[in-house]
Amino acid sequence: MRIRRRMLALACAVVVTLAAAACARRGEPQRQAMAGIVITPPIPKPDFTLTDTHGHPYNFRAETRGKVTLLFFGYTHCPDVCPLQMANVAAALKKAGPDVAKQVTVVFVTTDSVRDSPERLRQWLGSFDTTFVGLTGSLDRVNDIQARTRFLPRSVREEEGANYTVAHSAVMLAFARDDSAHVLYPSGVQPAAWAEDLKRMAAAAPPRANE
């Protein structure tokens, strides 16, 4: 578990650094307008293709273009962070209402394709929300994708027999309809506050076709 703690500590440190940098640029204490942490500058939506739980290729950028998209890297055997994040976002979508929920795509990329078969991933995600998208790929491929987000740490597998754990980031990236991530959500953001953020993002006008 030492590696896991170091990875989570790294993720938290990056979050603090981003927030501090934003404060420094403004020259005053940050007035947080969102429940999540505002990213400055925003992170462009990465272009990658993995396999969905139906065995079909899923191009992340193409499938989610112009949509509010929440992206998370984790695994179904995770004892704490992953189920908490997925439960909170599922609750936030319910609080936001069906008109908002249908405009939000939640994508969960597994960091444990050895144990997370498409069937298991689909069943696990369905226990939170049947609309959540599950994607699988090799750990090397997934780590390459995480590297493109500029700050998410590489996932590390800790060998502990069949019950090994996988250290990974605890944050969820939120891509607005302009296909850039302006906000990230650490573990523990309350669903009611998160729902208000989703309403704002869903209400934002989509980019024009020539933009």
pLDDT tens per residue, range 151-170: 677 888 877 677 888 888 88
Give the residue-averaged pLDDT of 90-101.
97
> Residue 35's closest CA among 187, 142, 164, 148?
187
- What are the residue boundaries of the structural domains of the chain, listed by start? 2-203
- Domain 2-203 -> CATH class: alpha beta
Q: What's the pLDDT at 157?
A: 81
Could you give the percent of the chain with pLDDT greater than 90?
66
Reported pTM: 0.83
Cis, peptide link before residue 41, omega less than 30° from 0? yes
Residue 30 — pLDDT band, cuts 50, 70, 90? Answer: very low
Contact 137, 113 (CB under 8 A): yes
Q: What is the pLDDT of residues 100-147, one digit of tens each?
A: 999 999 999 999 999 999 999 999 999 999 999 999 999 999 999 999
